[in-house]
Amino acid sequence: MQEREGFSSRLSFIIVSISCAIGLGNIWLMPYRAGAYGGALYIFLVALFIFLFAIPVLLTEYSVGRGSGVSGAKAFEKLTPGDTKWYVNGYIGIAGNYLLLMFYVMICGFALGYLWKGITGSLIGLSPADISAAWAAMTGWAIPAQDPDALARIGITYNDPASVAAAVNSAAVTSFSLMVAIVALGMGACYLGLRNGVERVGKYMMAIFFVLLMVLLVRSVTLPGAGAGLAFLFIPNLDAMREHGTFRILHMAMGQSLFSLSVGIGSMTVFGSYVKRERRLFKDAFTVGALDLSIIILCLLMIFPAAFAFDIPRTAGEALLFLTLPNIFNAMPGAYIWALMFYMGLAFVAFSTAVAVMENLTAIGMDKFGWTRSKSSLINFVLLVLLCTPSAFTRNIWAGMTPATFPHLGAFFTYLTMELALPIGALLYVLYCTRKAGWGWDNFIKEANTGTEGWTFPVTLRFYMTYVMPSVIIFILIFGQVQRWILTPRGILI
- What's CA 483's distance to the chain center, in Å? 24
Record the pTM.
0.88
Strand partners, 289: none
Q: Does 419 map to a domain? A: yes
Inside any domain, residue 273: yes
Residue 171 has a CB neighbour count (10 Å cut-off) of: 23
Backbone angles phi, psi at 236, to 5 degrees: -60, 140
If residue 24 lies in a helix (H) or strand (E), which one and from where to where?
Answer: helix 23-24
Tell me 86's DSSP state. Answer: G
Does some domain include residue 493? no
DSSP string, 430-458: HHHHH-TTSS-HHHHHHHHT-SSBSPPPP
Q: 33: domain range?
A: 10-487
Residue 463 has pLDDT above 80, yes or no: yes
Q: Does the pLDDT at position 337 exceed 80?
A: yes
What are 3-60's pLDDT values in tens digits?
555 565 666 677 667 766 666 677 777 887 888 887 899 999 999 999 999 999 999 9
Q: Amino acid letter at 400?
A: G
- Tally the C-alpha atoms within 13 A of residue 101's C-alpha that lie toward its C-beta: 34
pLDDT for residue 203 is more than 70? no
In whole angstroms, what is the distance from residue 262 CA to residue 266 CA? 8
Average pLDDT of every residue of the chain: 87
Residue 319 has pLDDT above 70, yes or no: no
Three-state DSSP at 482 gives helix
| CATH number reported for the structural domain that contains residue 435 in this entry | 1.10.4160
- Structural domain count of the chain: 1
What does the pLDDT look like over 177-201, one tens digit per residue?
999 999 999 999 888 876 655 566 6
- Structural domain contains residue 102: yes
Residue 475 counted as domain residue: yes
Q: Taking the CA of residue 27 as centre, how many other CA atoms within 13 Å lie in the half-sphere pointing to its CB?
A: 30
Instruction: Give dist(CA 259, CA 418) in Å, integer.
Output: 6
The average pLDDT across 203-225 equals 82
393 occurs within a structural domain: yes
Residue 27 lies in a domain: yes
What is the helix (H) or strand (E) element at residue 382, kind and residue range?
helix 373-393
Biggest distance spanned by C-alpha atoms of the chain: 70
pLDDT tens digit sequence for 65-104 = 999 999 888 999 999 998 888 998 899 999 999 999 999 9
Q: Which three-class secondary structure state does DSSP give residue 265? A: coil
